[in-house]
Structure 1
Amino acid sequence: MLKLDSIVAGYGRTRILHGVSLHVPKGGLVALLGGNGTGKSTTLKAIAGLVKVQEGQILLEGRDIDPVPAEQRSALGLSLVPQGKEVFAGMSVEENLLMGAYHRRKHRNEIAEDLESVYQRFKRLRERRKVYAGMLSGGERQMLSIGRSLMARPTMLLLDEPSAALAPRVVEEIAEAILSLRELGLTLLLVEQNVGMALDIADYIYVIRGGRIAYERAVGEGVAMEELQEFYLGGKDHD
């Protein structure tokens, strides 16, 4: 579904990614783990077209998407849930959700169906649908951010640290919600610092350190928390 081949990217003359390669199979849930400043979010932004790729290729279903502008990538089935639970604070919950379907605004019947589907999935959003998004809790804003992305009818969802700054109980809710998205046939790439959450829901993990992939393994292959911590701290090289 998604393949990154030796991606080099950054901001201006500053390189953040130094040859990142990873693969997300169709229908899979892959986690990209790492500490602050390791290149996790930059990787997602490169996929979404928000950061220019200087070298390498990003292939979506075999197509090189580098020439496709960021604003047109949603039409290819790619949707980003950004870090920070970003919402339009001065708009209602329902208005935020409808913004996710803006590029499909002529298909009113489909949009109504998708809105109902989001409300079924996130029942709290239905209860709060007329409330300004700026009045929501952190967990509710994260649900809204995910719901808004679903309104674009993506085939591939990119999630940037959805558990950040949330209480443990809310993290469990978000993890369950992410797992349930697979029922829709979605392919997911999850960027996280929360190792425990990632190991609970992902099929495969990559660890990025210093803009390079330092470790990768299928979750069922005996991944140990202690071993991952060593990679986080920089004590081991690529396996």
Structure 2
Amino acid sequence: MLKLENVVAGYGRTRILNGVSMNVPSGGLVALLGGNGTGKSTTLKSIVGLVAVQQGQVELNGNAINAVPAEERVAHGLSLVPQGKEVFSAMSVEENLLMGAFHRRRDRKMIAEDLEGIYGRFRRLKERRRVDAGLLSGGERQMLSIGRSLMARPSVLLLDEPSAALAPRVVEEIAEAILNLRSLGLTLLLVEQNVGMALDIADYIYVIRGGRIAYEREVGSGIAMEELQEFYLGAERH
């Protein structure tokens, strides 16, 4: 479904990604792990076109999309849940959700159906549909950010650290919500620093360090937290 092949990208003359290669299979849930400044968010931004790919290739459904403008990649099936639980604070919950369907705003009947689907999935959002998004809790804002991205009807959903700065109980709710998204047939790429959460829900993990993939493995094949130390933290294994 989604493939990165030797992707080099960065900001101006500053190179962040130094040849990243990844595969995210159709219907899969893949996690990209790493510490601060390792290139996780830049990887997502290169996929959606917010950061230009200087070398290498990003493919979606077997088609190269390097030259596709960022604003057109949503129509190709890509949707990003950005880091920081970003919402339009002065707009209501429902207005935020409707912004996610802006590119297909003429299809009012389907948008109404999708909106009810989001409310069925995130009942707390339905209860607060008329409330300004800026008044929501951190967990509610994260649900809203995910819901808004789903309103774009993506085939591939990219999530940038959805558990960041949330209480453990809320992290469990978000993890469960992400797992439940698979019932929609979505392909999911999850960027996280929360290793425990990623190992709980992902099929496959990649660890990025210094802008390169340092480690990759299928989850459930004997992977252990201590096994990740060398690759995730740069620590020596004993």
Question: Counterparts in 2 of 1:2-151, with a 5 A limit?
Answer: 2-151=2-151
Q: Is the Cα contact below 8 Å between 2:229 and 2:236 reproduced in 1?
A: no
- The answer on 1:162 being equivalent to 2:162 is yes
Alpha-carbon distance in structure 2 between the residues aligned to 1:96 and 1:50: 21
- What's the counterpart of residue 178 of structure 1? 178
Alpha-carbon distance in structure 1 between the residues aligned to 2:106 and 2:30: 33
How far 1:229 moved relative to its partner? 2.2
Q: Deviations over 1:83-116 (max 9, x none)?
A: 0000000000000000000011000000000000
Superposition RMSD in Å: 0.9
How far 1:236 moved relative to its partner? 6.4
Identity of aligned residues (%): 81
- Closer, same or farther in 2 for the Cα pair 1:30/1:236, shift >3 Å? farther
What SS does structure 2 have at the residue aligned with 1:76? Answer: coil
Alpha-carbon distance in structure 2 between the residues aligned to 1:84 and 1:101: 21
Alpha-carbon distance in structure 1 between the residues aligned to 2:18 and 2:61: 23
Alpha-carbon distance in structure 2 between the residues aligned to 1:229 and 1:235: 6
Question: Counterparts in 2 of 1:189-228, with a 5 A limit?
Answer: 189-228=189-228
4+ aligned runs moved over 4 Å, structure 1? none
- Closer, same or farther in 2 for the Cα pair 1:87/1:6, shift >3 Å? same
Structure 2, unmatched stretches of 5+, are none
Structure 1, unmatched stretches of 5+, are none
User: Structure 1 length normalisation: TM-score?
Assistant: 0.98
Q: Deviations over 1:146-198 (max 9, x none)?
A: 00000000000000000000000000000000000000000000000000000
User: Structure 2 length normalisation: TM-score?
Assistant: 0.98
How many residues are aligned here?
237
How far 1:7 moved relative to its partner? 0.2
Q: Is the Cα contact below 8 Å between 2:97 and 2:115 reproduced in 1?
A: yes
Alpha-carbon distance in structure 2 between the residues aligned to 1:77 and 1:94: 22
Alpha-carbon distance in structure 1 between the residues aligned to 2:236 and 2:103: 45
How far 1:230 moved relative to its partner? 2.2
